[in-house]
Amino acid sequence: MFSALLCGAAVFPGLFCSFRKILKLRQWSERDAVVISERLVSSIHATLATAAGVTVVASCRDVMTDSHWLVNWFIFFGAPYMTYDIFAMYLCHYHTQRVRGVSPAGSGHCLQSVRAFLIKDWMLVLHHAALLVVFMPIALFLRRGLGDFFIGCMFTTEFSTPFLCIGQILIQLGLDNTKLLKVNGIILLLSFFTCRILIFPFMYWMYGQQFRIPLHRVPFHLPLHCNLGNLVILSPQIYWFILLLRKANRLYLRRRRQVDKDEPKTK
């Protein structure tokens, strides 16, 4: 497993540096190179996590006792990504603030810029830190080898991330009025709702099928800490989904105003 940890520590920062260098060689600005590189690496990690999750879920017949070697391997492999991505998000924030003129042109990295980043993206930072400090020890050491099926389901929640990154890249490239962004937005909303919200009742339903328990009674057959843990994970997903809906609504209204403005007035 130590080899998986080293592999992850080399792969994700290595991909980021490679993408960043390639984009800068093609005359992209520092800010664009950093932001797009971070989103490309996020998409790659999410694709690998989803593939691992689907593999584990498809191989587990018994949702409690069946195990798969890929679970522990990918947890070790993905752990360095969480640390890397916090730093990469900070770089995105730092260069974006400089482009917007919020930070002085000659200023470098300092505690003030780090503090501003933590205030702005505190929930994402907390999410990454919680995965490292809470989820990883529980998944590796405290669950006693049980529930690989449910860990695989957690991996598949990353399925929507590439579509989120594609949308952000399209907006950054000035393609926010294209049909491609609209189609990608619809896929993002559907995939996010399915894989990050509906996945929880699906896991409860699969547990009920395993032990012949009606879905509405499954929570009463689980330990309290299991239900609380699921609630803690689910809550930010609902919050982020609401933010996505609001953003989609703003883009739709802006597009409608633009269409109305471009239409010729009739008497």
202: left (phi over 0), alpha (psi -120 to 50) or beta: alpha
pLDDT at 267: 39
Domain positions in the chain: 1-262
Q: How many helices (H) and strands (E) does the chain have?
A: 12, 0
- In this predicted structure, the answer to whether residue 139 has a pLDDT above a threshold of 90 is no
What value does the mean pLDDT take over residues 195-215? 94
d(CA 94, CA 109): 8
pLDDT at 145: 83
Please state the pTM of the whole predicted model.
0.88
- In this predicted structure, the answer to whether residue 102 has a pLDDT above a threshold of 80 is no
Structure tokens at 73: 């391997």
In sequence order, the 6+-apart residues with CB closer than 8 A to the CB of 64 are 146, 147, 149, 207, 210
Give tens-digit pLDDT for 140-170.
888 888 899 999 999 999 999 999 999 989 8
Residue tagged 């189609």 (tokens):
183
Query: Residue 265 has what DSSP assignment?
Result: P
pLDDT at 261: 63
